[in-house]
Amino acid sequence: MAAGNYLPTAELTASGRPVLYPGEIESSLLSSVDLLSEENPNFPHLKSGLLILTNHRLLWLPNSTPASSPTPVHIPLSAVSHIFSLKKSIKSVFSTPRIRFQVSVTSEGRVDEKGLRSIVITLVLRGKSDPEAFLGKFWEALKVRAWEEIKVGASGAEAGSSSGPRSGEGSLALRVPVVGVAGILRKEQEMWESTDKSLQDAFQDLNALMSKAKEMVMLAEKMRLKLLAGSNNQATGAAEDELGTKEEMQDWLLSVGIASPVTKESAGALYHQQLSRQLADFVRIPLERAGGTINLIDVYCLFNRARGTELISPDDLLQACSLWEKFDVPVMLRKFDSGVMVIQNKAHSDDEVFARIRSLVTKPDALQSGVSASDAAMTLGVAPAMAKEYLLTAEGKGLLCRDISPDGFRFYINLFQDINSDDVYL
* Domain shared by 27 and 86, yes or no: yes
Q: Domain end: 345, 365, 396, which one?
A: 345
* Domain shared by 338 and 412, yes or no: no
* Domain shared by 40 and 69, yes or no: yes
* Domain shared by 277 and 368, yes or no: no
Q: Is pLDDT at 196 greater than 80 in this prediction? A: no
When pLDDT is cut at 50, 70 and 90, the band that residue 322 belongs to is very high
How confident is the model over 241-261, as pLDDT tens digits? 555 555 555 555 555 567 778
Candidates 398, 363, 368; CA nearest to 378 is: 363
Residue 91 C-alpha from the chain's centroid: 43
* Domain shared by 89 and 25, yes or no: yes
Domain hosting 100: range is 3-146
Q: Which residue has the higher pLDDT, 236 or 366?
A: 366
Please tell me the predicted confidence (pLDDT) of residue 90: 66
* Domain shared by 99 and 116, yes or no: yes
When pLDDT is cut at 50, 70 and 90, the band that residue 305 belongs to is confident
CATH of the domain at 311: 1.10.10.10
* Domain shared by 273 and 402, yes or no: no
Out of 18-27, 203-212, 265-274, pick the least confident.
Answer: 203-212
Please tell me the predicted confidence (pLDDT) of residue 384: 85
Taking the CA atoms of residue 7, residue 8, residue 11 and residue 15 in that order, the dihedral angle to the nearest 10 degrees is -10
Out of 70-84, 223-237, 327-341, pick the least confident.
Answer: 223-237
Please tell me whether residue 279 adopts helix, strand or coil conformation.
Answer: helix
CATH of the domain at 117: 2.30.29.30
When pLDDT is cut at 50, 70 and 90, the band that residue 165 belongs to is very low
323 lies in some domain = yes
* Domain shared by 12 and 74, yes or no: yes
Q: What distances in angstroms separate CA 191 from CA 90, 188, 226, 267, one per listed residue?
A: 61, 5, 18, 38
* Domain shared by 17 and 127, yes or no: yes
Q: How many domains does the chain have?
A: 3
Q: Domain end: 296, 323, 345, which one?
A: 345
165 lies in some domain = no
When pLDDT is cut at 50, 70 and 90, the band that residue 237 belongs to is very low
Candidates 375, 343, 348, 337; CA nearest to 359 is: 375
The predicted model gives 180-184 an average pLDDT of 59
* Domain shared by 141 and 26, yes or no: yes
How far is residue 171's CA from residue 147's CA, in Å, rounded to a whole number? 21
Q: In what order do the strands lie in the sheet with 341-345?
A: 293-295, 341-345, 331-335
Mean pLDDT, the chain, integer: 79
290 lies in some domain = yes
* Domain shared by 24 and 90, yes or no: yes
228 lies in some domain = no
Q: Is 209 exposed, middle or buried (0-12, 13-18, 19+ CB in 10 A)?
A: middle
Q: Domain end: 345, 366, 392, which one?
A: 345
The predicted model gives 165-180 an average pLDDT of 42
Q: Is pLDDT at 170 greater than 50 in this prediction? A: no
